[in-house]
Chain A
Amino acid sequence: MGLREDYLKKFEGKTYFWLGDEACAYGGVFGGCNFFTGYPITPASEVAEVISGELPNVGGYHVQMEDEIASIAALIGGVWAGARGMTATSGPGFSLMQENIGYAIMTETPCVIVDVQRSGPSTGQATKPAQGDVMQARWGTHGDHNIIALAPNSVQECFDLMIRCFNLSEEYRTPVILLMDGEIGHLRERITVPSLKSIKLKKRKKGKKKDLLFGGELIPPFKEIGDGHYLHVTGSTHKENGIRDVESQKVHEKLVTRLYDKIEKNREKLVDLEEKWMDDAKIAVISYGAAARPTEGAVALLRKKRKKIGFMRLRTIWPFPREQVRALGKKVKKIYVPEMNLGQLSREIERFVDCPVVGIPKIGGIVHTIREITTAMERS
């Protein structure tokens, strides 16, 4: 057994009362993370505090960089040098990272970025939760691109989805975002660590000399620094061998379309959602992350009053479960969307359904209560 397995086995099968941030850090370590770069920011700092203590135990490295730009830059550099790496931040830091998230997309660098969303814009309510980065996660970096973003709604899912984030980043050779929120990040809850054997880690597919680093197939294999390939990696538009070509329309179109397609064409494999009470539903409620907790409670309460309401929770936010939502829109008369912003996902839902979509927004740093959701539903 290796150093990592040797150390991690003490957690197997045990139940803890962890913070969401803490579970996220351990999910990273169990997901194979051996490199973390970050910069302190509420409410994400606990991820760094926990993982900085654990990475040395599994042969990994933590470095606190001078800012979030440097954090993601060092992360990407480390991955090209062989790391399986992550960073964690919140809104302001996530904004600073956007340019280099684009670099990671363009250079097809597998890595995981945790965004523990807080109330904004700007410094906002620094210590309080929100879900205001749904669209920033999708469109924050400039240019045409696609992204994978997962949203946990419990401490257990912070752990479980981190492992999926790492696996997806390797499978699709792309940055993956864990779109947490400060409510879940700072929530303590019961969590059970699964056995190491039950966790399947997607290994990095490494290319041989003849393999193209940026083409030849939808998801080309990765090559690392030091393998003797004289890699040329650039955020500029490049040919399949990595050499810059910023003049050709065709080269750009081919590259950026492939980067888009590798997620688009696998949308159905990436979609991950939970449905409850949908069989007889005339009305549906869609939510995600922390807001999905009181939402599910509200729907459960209304079901007890014999209301025909169904519940859908998105674990994968991006790519958006377009087909599932489209089908739901045909089945129900109305869709409610409680979220901790002024209506980011609800607008995305509107794009795919004909029935009315009613947002139940809540901002100001506090998640909805069950009563607020049922009241809003009774009102409209």
Chain B
Amino acid sequence: MMAKKKKAYRLKHYLREELLPTTFCQGCGCGTVLNTYAQAIEELQINPKDIVSVTGIGCSSWIPSPYFKADTLHTTHGRAIAFATGVKIMKPEANVVVIAGDGDLAGIGGNHLIHAARRNVGLAVFLINNMIYGMTGGQVSPMTPLGDKTTTTPYGNPEYPFNIAEFVAAAGANYVARWTTYHVFPLMESIQKAMTKDGFSFVEILTQCPVSYGRRVGMRTGEEFLKYFKENTINSLKAKDMTPEEIGDKIIVGKIVERNRKEFTTILREMNEERRK
């Protein structure tokens, strides 16, 4: 007798199937992001052959490298955006996507993030913010909240975290949003917006790391994080009419900025053509 047949995962053709199951820990948010991302691509009907995934080092970089099936550059720690800029200059028609973590993009690679936003390079950058260096065992990251205990802040984190989405918006990105792994449907729409919008697009995705972060701050399961995200977020549309006191410690989600500056590689090409006239 055959066992009860499991329904196959509907989007598995977007993945390198031979490498499944993923190595993400139980309760990790990376699976949610992978699923939401694949769904977004499916709905947009983008051919994965037109996507270039560029990643850094860290758990979230494993979402595209190796799982999402597209041309994939798994690069050095922090440098994904710089590699991706090179790709975009030579292949402006490609959908160049960067998926990497908070340590990678806001920590070691922070300078590349600022400058790519300033240049307004046509990249879709998804910063998977689990507020910790997860892969290396739970060290403090530039996104770890003040006071939290980590393996390298055993008495609590003495530093303030970045408001990275506002920061990227200020640097000149064309589109910036923030969501969490609780908000999968608006997150998917935001991913689609980032994939189709010209210029530099940035979505910060707050996610859970129960293993390397949660268990040290009293959230041992993915569910506890999702509940936290649900109860402690305010949509940016609502927040704009609120005072800072009313907002308090709540996380603002939703669109942070949308503008229409001309994309960098388009300007570069136009200038080069002008030169040759």
Closest to B92 in A: A81
Closest to B93 in A: A226
Closest to A67 in B: B111
Bound CA–CA A154/B51 (angstroms): 45
Closest to A60 in B: B272
Given A66-B115, A81-B91, the answer on whether A57 and B276 have CB atoms closer than 8 Å is yes
Instruction: Tell whether A93 is near chain B: CB-to-CB under 8 Å.
Output: no
Interface string of A304-318 (1 = CB under 8 A from B): 000000000000000
Which residues of B (75-128) have their CB < 8 Å from a CB of A?
75-76, 79, 82-87, 89-91, 94, 111-112, 114-115
A235-B72 in contact (CB<8A) = no
Q: Within 8 Å CB of B69, what residues of A?
A: 230
Bound CA–CA A35/B85 (angstroms): 12
Contact size range, A: 35 or more
**Could you say which of A57, A83, A85, A226 has the most chain B C-beta atoms within 10 Å of its C-beta?**
A226
Closest to A70 in B: B82
Closest to A34 in B: B90
Q: Within 8 Å CB of B87, what residues of A?
A: 77-78, 80-81, 225
- Min CB distance B275 to A, Å, is 4
Q: Within 8 Å CB of B48, what residues of A?
A: 230
Instruction: Tell whether A156 is near chain B: CB-to-CB under 8 Å.
Output: no
Identify A74's interface contact among B70, B83, B111, CB under 8 A: B83
B272-A56 in contact (CB<8A) = yes
Which residues of B (233-256) have their CB < 8 Å from a CB of A?
none
A contacts with B: majority SS: mixed
Closest to A74 in B: B86
B86-A77 in contact (CB<8A) = yes
Q: Within 8 Å CB of A233, what residues of B?
A: 72-74
Instruction: Tell whether B19 is near chain A: CB-to-CB under 8 Å.
Output: yes
Interface string of A284-301 (1 = CB under 8 A from B): 000000000000000000
- Min CB distance A144 to B, Å, is 18
Interface string of A61-87 (1 = CB under 8 A from B): 101011101110111111111110100
Q: Within 8 Å CB of A57, what residues of B?
A: 275-276
**Could you say which of A35, A77, A99, A236 has the most chain B C-beta atoms within 10 Å of its C-beta?**
A77
B65-A37 in contact (CB<8A) = no
B66-A76 in contact (CB<8A) = no
Instruction: Tell whether A234 is near chain B: CB-to-CB under 8 Å.
Output: yes
A35-B71 in contact (CB<8A) = no
Bound CA–CA A236/B72 (angstroms): 13
A73-B86 in contact (CB<8A) = yes
B94-A78 in contact (CB<8A) = no
Q: Within 8 Å CB of B75, what residues of A?
A: 73, 76-77, 103, 235
Bound CA–CA A79/B83 (angstroms): 10
Instruction: Tell whether B146 is near chain A: CB-to-CB under 8 Å.
Output: no
Instruction: Tell whether A167 is near chain B: CB-to-CB under 8 Å.
Output: no
Instruction: Tell whether A228 is near chain B: CB-to-CB under 8 Å.
Output: yes
Interface string of B20-57 (1 = CB under 8 A from A): 00000000000000000000000000001110101000
Interface string of B257-268 (1 = CB under 8 A from A): 000000000001
Instruction: Tell whether A1 is near chain B: CB-to-CB under 8 Å.
Output: no
A100-B76 in contact (CB<8A) = yes
Given A70-B79, A100-B79, A235-B76, the answer on whether A77 and B70 have CB atoms closer than 8 Å is no
Instruction: Tell whether A9 is near chain B: CB-to-CB under 8 Å.
Output: no
Instruction: Tell whether A229 is near chain B: CB-to-CB under 8 Å.
Output: yes
- Min CB distance A110 to B, Å, is 14
Bound CA–CA A225/B75 (angstroms): 14
Instruction: Tell whether B271 is near chain A: CB-to-CB under 8 Å.
Output: yes
- Min CB distance A286 to B, Å, is 36
- Min CB distance A303 to B, Å, is 50
Instruction: Tell whether A232 is near chain B: CB-to-CB under 8 Å.
Output: yes
**Could you say which of B86, B89, B90, B112 has the most chain A C-beta atoms within 10 Å of its C-beta?**
B86
Instruction: Tell whether A243 is near chain B: CB-to-CB under 8 Å.
Output: yes
Q: Within 8 Å CB of A83, what residues of B?
A: 86, 90
B90-A73 in contact (CB<8A) = no
B272-A77 in contact (CB<8A) = no
Bound CA–CA A332/B274 (angstroms): 61
Bound CA–CA A77/B96 (angstroms): 11
- Min CB distance A238 to B, Å, is 9
A35-B89 in contact (CB<8A) = yes
Interface string of A202-242 (1 = CB under 8 A from B): 00000000000000000000000110111111111000000
Q: Within 8 Å CB of B114, what residues of A?
A: 66
A66-B111 in contact (CB<8A) = yes
Q: Within 8 Å CB of B85, what residues of A?
A: 63, 65, 70, 73-74, 77
- Min CB distance A358 to B, Å, is 42
Q: Within 8 Å CB of A244, what residues of B?
A: 65-66, 74
Bound CA–CA A59/B69 (angstroms): 32
Q: Within 8 Å CB of A226, what residues of B?
A: 49-50, 52, 71, 91, 94
Would you mind naming 19 contact pairs between A and B with Cβ atoms under 8 Å apart? A56-B271, A56-B276, A61-B89, A66-B111, A66-B112, A70-B115, A77-B73, A77-B84, A80-B73, A81-B94, A83-B90, A99-B76, A100-B79, A225-B73, A225-B87, A225-B91, A235-B76, A243-B19, A243-B66
Binding site for A on B (CB under 8 A): 16, 19, 48-50, 52, 54, 65-66, 69-76, 79, 82-87, 89-91, 94, 111-112, 114-115, 268, 271-272, 275-276
